[in-house]
Amino acid sequence: MNILMLIGSILFGISVYGLLSSKNMARILISAEVMFNAFVLYVLSYVVSVSSIFSDAVVFISSLVLMAILLAVGEIVVSFSILLALIRFKVLKRIDTEEVVIKDLRYEEEKK
């Protein structure tokens, strides 16, 4: 077994434990991302191990893995923006951002 496959399996197991045992939203999101990246690492190490047999498939699968990583980055951005909106709603009891911007503009005018 390849060492990268072993590392990917260990990371996947740790992230499953973190996903199932945590009640914190940020920890759950981080565990899900670690799980996804462990899977990508496992697939990439598998592709490297069979590259001698299927040399044409390596480029295709590597590009798929790169696309999956880029999708994961987009998922992180969306997830944390939703998390920040929930925290803002919890603190301000509303999500309306126009009122916050108007108050900020008024504060800047009062400072002058």
For residues 43 and 9, is the Cβ–Cβ distance under 8 A?
no
pLDDT band of residue 106 (cuts 50, 70, 90) is low
Distance CA 95, CA 112 (A): 28
Q: What is the pLDDT of residues 18-69, one digit of tens each?
A: 889 988 877 888 888 888 888 888 887 877 777 767 667 777 777 777 787 7
pTM of the entire structure? 0.59
The residues spanned by each domain of the chain are 3-111
Fill in the DSSP letter of residue 93: S
* Closest to 64 in 3D by CA, of 43, 46, 78: 43
Inter-axis angle of helices 3-21 and 25-49, to 10 degrees?
A: 160
3-111 belongs to which CATH class? mainly alpha
Please report the pLDDT score of residue 104 as a whole number. Answer: 55
- Our CA angle for 74, 58, 4, nearest 5°, is 70
Please report the pLDDT score of residue 95 as a whole number. Answer: 58
